[in-house]
């Protein structure tokens, strides 16, 4: 067992590693009356083979269909009966099961989220029904062009790689899954050393560790049989698809930075300058000045060993090419001339405000803590985060812009109206 804590008295971060490898994290905030509990597994859609596409997401659904101790309705009632809630989500590189409740229900909250992954029974009848639910979820995304264009964008940016597959998988793979496959997958991927229990709120670390020891005490350390496929080479591509929609949806993007890149904070500030709000350059110059769109923004997604960066907008099909030129013009401005001290300071304040305001909620604190542990294996305090933002210079932004914002490196994905 190892343990460490921050030097800050309030709030306080602590970490303990159980003998089997499960990591227990807490951020104790005694000024609130609630807790957020998250059980993180460092396994997501990227860790599937082509034949397993969608199995992580299906497992996330199926654990709610019954455990050795509880039937489906008992799982939902367990948290709702005390005014809390329970949910989960699957990402490219991890899966998270989480609960929110009053602090007096700490043990109940940890017990229910851990029960989901330690004792699921995957009833065969429920499996067949849940496959249909997932197929309907796929149709829902197909009918939501802003979601669909990003799915197509990832397929283009990470062509022929696991990161390019949709998290939900494909209809054929989902239909083919058996109960034995789900059991085998969770046994090989949901290993203790890839599991993190994170709790934020009015919960003392020793109490959380005590509960975790009781629950995970009989879980043996076992090897993780998985090696992620390194990202492949990137070649810019053009993709156009006709859809029965009223508005064209455009994403121009490229490969970006990973979470370990020391320039990640610089990229966050650059992203804010470019398309991070109503005062951003994209919004002011493409929406406000030209009236080309209602919605436009830039984005930066960072994974463990790669990332993607780009711009989304919805516009009339006749304006697509002009919109691209305007977007690339903004790229050129950022890559050619340093931003002024006033503009830089404003962007930094916006980034800091977004972070600090988001952490008013315990769920966001828990999410931040869990992701940091999975990717960085350490806790980054708010003071350190603010210092990183303050340290970004105009020259830093110029350097990243010159490397990243080259239009020749950008792919283009467009959904256009048609029948």
Cα-flanking dihedrals φ and ψ of residue 2, to 5°? Answer: -125, 155
Q: Is the pLDDT of residue 160 over 60?
A: yes
Q: Is residue 229 part of a domain?
A: no
Q: What is the pLDDT of residue 219?
A: 77
Do 164 and 298 belong together in one domain? no
Domain that includes residue 194, residue range: 2-216
Q: Is residue 226 part of a domain?
A: no
Catalytic machinery residues? 60
The mean of the pLDDT values for the chain is 94
Q: Is the pLDDT of residue 71 over 50?
A: yes
Q: What is the pLDDT of residue 5?
A: 43
- Could you give the number of structural domains in the chain? 2
Q: Is residue 259 part of a domain?
A: yes
Q: Is residue 175 part of a domain?
A: yes
Q: Is residue 231 part of a domain?
A: no
Do 12 and 145 belong together in one domain? yes
Q: Is residue 227 part of a domain?
A: no
Q: What is the pLDDT of residue 6?
A: 42
pTM of the prediction? 0.93
Q: What is the pLDDT of residue 419?
A: 78
Q: What value does the mean pLDDT take over residues 19-38?
A: 96
Kindly state the tokens that stand for 157: 């940016």
Do 247 and 194 belong together in one domain? no
Do 391 and 268 belong together in one domain? yes
Q: Residue 280 maps to which CATH number?
A: 3.30.830.10
Per-residue pLDDT of 353-371, as tens digits, reads 999 998 889 999 999 999 9
Cα–Cα distance measured from residue 182 to residue 122, given in angstroms and rounded to the nearest whole number: 8
Do 279 and 358 belong together in one domain? yes
Q: How far is CA 293 from CA 160, 297, 298, 377, in A?
A: 32, 11, 14, 41
Q: Read off the pLDDT band of 8 (50, 70, 90).
A: very low
Tell me the pairing of strands 238-243 and 95-102.
unpaired
How does DSSP assign 179-214, residue by residue? HHHHHHHHHHHS-GGGEEEEEEES--HHHHHHHHHH
Q: What is the pLDDT of residue 395?
A: 98
Q: What value does the mean pLDDT take over residues 33-45?
A: 98
Q: Is residue 407 part of a domain?
A: yes
Kindly state the tokens that stand for 125: 């009848």
Q: Is residue 225 part of a domain?
A: no
Per-residue pLDDT of 173-194, as tens digits, reads 999 999 999 999 999 999 999 9
Q: Which residue in 178, 161, 191 sits closest to 55, CA to CA?
A: 178
Q: Read off the pLDDT band of 220 (50, 70, 90).
A: confident
Per-residue pLDDT of 229-272, as tens digits, reads 999 999 999 999 999 999 999 999 999 999 999 999 999 999 99
Q: What is the pLDDT of residue 10?
A: 65
Q: Which residue in 185, 213, 188, 186 sits closest to 23, CA to CA?
A: 213
Do 124 and 262 belong together in one domain? no
Do 195 and 256 belong together in one domain? no
How does DSSP assign 128-165, residue by residue? HHHHHHHHHHHHHHHT-HHHHHHHHHHHHHTTTSGGGS
Q: Is the pLDDT of residue 225 over 80?
A: no
Do 278 and 165 belong together in one domain? no
Q: Is the distance from CB of 34 to CB of 85 less than 8 angstroms? A: no
Kindly state the tokens that stand for 59: 């497992």
Angle of helix 124-142 versus helix 145-157 axis, rounded to 10: 100
Do 260 and 350 belong together in one domain? yes
Do 266 and 347 belong together in one domain? yes
Do 203 and 252 belong together in one domain? no
Q: What is the pLDDT of residue 91?
A: 98
């Amino acid at each position: 067992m190892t343990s460490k804590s921050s030097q800050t008295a309030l709030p306080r971060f602590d970490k303990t590693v159980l003998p089997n490898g499960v990591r227990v994290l807490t951020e104790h905030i005694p000024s609130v009356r609630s807790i957020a509990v998250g059980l993180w597994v460092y396994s997501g859609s990227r860790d599937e083979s082509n034949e397993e596409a969608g199995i992580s997401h299906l497992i996330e659904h199926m654990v709610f269909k019954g455990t050795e101790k509880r039937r489906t309705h008992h799982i939902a009632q367990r948290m709702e009966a005390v005014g809390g809630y329970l949910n989960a989500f699957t990402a490219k590189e991890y899966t998270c099961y989480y609960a929110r409740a009053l602090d007096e229900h700490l043990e109940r909250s940890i017990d229910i989220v851990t029960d989901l992954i330690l004792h699921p029974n995957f009833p065969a009848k429920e499996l067949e029904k849940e496959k249909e639910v997932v197929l309907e979820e796929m149709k829902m995304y197909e009918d939501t062009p802003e979601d669909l264009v990003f799915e197509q964008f990832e397929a283009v940016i990470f062509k022929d790689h696991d990161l390019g597959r949709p998290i939900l998988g494909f209809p054929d793979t989902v239909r083919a899954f058996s109960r034995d496959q789900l059991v085998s997958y969770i046994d090989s991927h949901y290993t203790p050393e890839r599991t993190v229990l994170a709790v934020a709120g009015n919960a003392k670390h020793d109490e959380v560790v005590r509960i975790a020891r009781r629950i995970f005490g009989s879980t043996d350390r076992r090897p993780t049989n998985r090696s992620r496929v390194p990202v492949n080479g990137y070649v810019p591509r053009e993709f156009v698809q006709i859809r029965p929609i009223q508005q064209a949806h455009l994403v121009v993007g490229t490969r970006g930075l990973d979470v370990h890149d020391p320039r990640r904070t610089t990229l966050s500030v650059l992203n804010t300058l470019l398309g991070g709000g109503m005062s951003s350059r994209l919004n002011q110059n493409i929406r406000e000045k030209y009236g080309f769109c209602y919605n436009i923004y830039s984005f930066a997604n960072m994974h463990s060993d790669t990332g993607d960066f780009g711009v989304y907008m919805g516009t009339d099909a006749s304006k697509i090419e002009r919109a691209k030129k305007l977007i690339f013009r903004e790229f050129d401005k950022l890559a050619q001339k340093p931003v002024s001290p006033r503009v830089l300071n404003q962007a930094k304040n916006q980034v800091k405000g977004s972070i600090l305001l988001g952490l008013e909620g315990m769920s966001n604190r828990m999410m931040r803590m869990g992701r940091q542990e999975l990717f960085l294996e350490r806790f980054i305090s708010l003071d350190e985060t603010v210092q990183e933002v303050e340290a970004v210079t105009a020259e830093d932004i110029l350097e990243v812009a010159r490397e990243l914002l080259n239009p020749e490196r950008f792919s283009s994905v467009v959904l256009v109206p048609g029948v």
